[in-house]
Copies of this chain bind each other. A is one copy, B any other.
Amino acid sequence: MANSKYEYVRNFERDENLLPNTWIVVRIDGRGFHKLSNYYNFSKPNDTRALNLMNLAATQVVTSIPELVVAYGVSDEYSFVFHKSTTLFERRSAKLVSTVVSLFTAAYVVLWNSAFVDQGQSENEGAELPRLSLTMLPTFDGRAVCYPSWENLRDYLSWRQVDCHINNLYNTTFWALVQQGNMSHTAAEEHLKGTVASDKNEILWTRFGINYNNEPEMFRKGSVVYREYALEASPGDDGEGILECETGVENPMSKTQMEKMRKARQKAKVVTKHVDIIKDEFWIQRPWIRGGRPGRLLGDGDSTETKGKTRNLD
């Protein structure tokens, strides 16, 4: 039974190969996580276990795909950034998106019940997450977007982090009014209508004694996941030079070079930080993210000092 009679159907397949020399962001979003977070009794406004789980799944994705240079997560969304020079899957959009989404979903589900989830959780959230039910599977949709310049990419990530801040301040105040102020959801919503940031800070402090700036950084700043190397820039450096270095498609690497770099990246530790990524400092100290080339591994030579620096950062 030859198959040639039907093979013409392959002509209907269409690939979208994303424009070369652009930064590719695959952003995934939890589907129906409002409902899901109620079903599994997530803590409000933030569930440390659930956020840790997101971060662990993202770490798994970044570890599995060395072409990813950084990822940023907040709430039930995560943005994964492919270096602009990547040629993974010939930059086919559907392949990039579906691979990231599938990897993230698989890791999220496998890790759901794992011991890892408990790491780093705050004291009042000692309980494990309830077992997953087939009728309420955690799933994520995704999309790919191209950003032509480094400035566009930085602005995209800043946009997400500002969004994190705005939403978290709102949610923290809303749930304080509901949980500690015994307001109904509607009343709390009404109460916050038209308020600006300083109003919410005031409400938190005067009514509930909460200093918003003391809230956990993971809640206020979201999570950055990336490969850590020895930090490079000295305090006096304005980083201009570093921020401008680029790996152009003009000088594409050979296959051997790329494979070598891929392996070098795989040796680096993938870390999760809750730090400001809007200002330049984060990026100046980690030029390998923009450059797309592996940095010096931690533990080489002056590692002690470097590690100290890292710790001071967040």
A residues in contact (CB < 8 Å) with B? 1-3, 5-9, 11-17, 19-22, 28, 31, 60, 84, 93-95, 97-99, 101-103, 105-111, 132, 134, 137-149, 151-152, 155-156, 158-159, 162-163, 165-166, 197, 248-250, 252
Q: Is the CB of A3 within 8 A of B163?
A: yes
Q: Is the CB of B162 within 8 A of A6?
A: yes
A19 and B19 in contact (CB under 8 A), knowing A107-B134, A141-B99?
A: yes
Q: Is the CB of A8 within 8 A of B137?
A: no
Q: Which of B5, B139, B151 contacts A102 (CB 8 A)?
A: B139
Using Cβ atoms and an 8 Å threshold, which residues of chain B touch A248? 149, 151-152
Using Cβ atoms and an 8 Å threshold, which residues of chain B touch A145? 12-14
Q: Which of B6, B105, B162 contacts A158 (CB 8 A)?
A: B6
Complex Cα gap A16–B16 (Å): 9
Q: Which of B8, B11, B166 contacts A3 (CB 8 A)?
A: B166
Q: Is the CB of B98 within 8 A of A101?
A: yes
Q: Is the CB of A148 within 8 A of B148?
A: yes
Q: Is the CB of A21 within 8 A of B106?
A: no
Using Cβ atoms and an 8 Å threshold, which residues of chain B touch A149? 21, 148-149, 248
Q: Is the CB of B103 within 8 A of A137?
A: yes
Q: Is the CB of B152 within 8 A of A249?
A: yes
Q: Is the CB of B12 within 8 A of A98?
A: no
Complex Cα gap A200–B215 (Å): 69
Closest B residue to A9 by beta carbon equals B156
Complex Cα gap A31–B101 (Å): 13
Using Cβ atoms and an 8 Å threshold, which residues of chain B touch A60? 134, 137
Using Cβ atoms and an 8 Å threshold, which residues of chain B touch A144? 94
Using Cβ atoms and an 8 Å threshold, which residues of chain B touch A19? 12, 14, 19, 22, 146, 148
Complex Cα gap A249–B156 (Å): 12
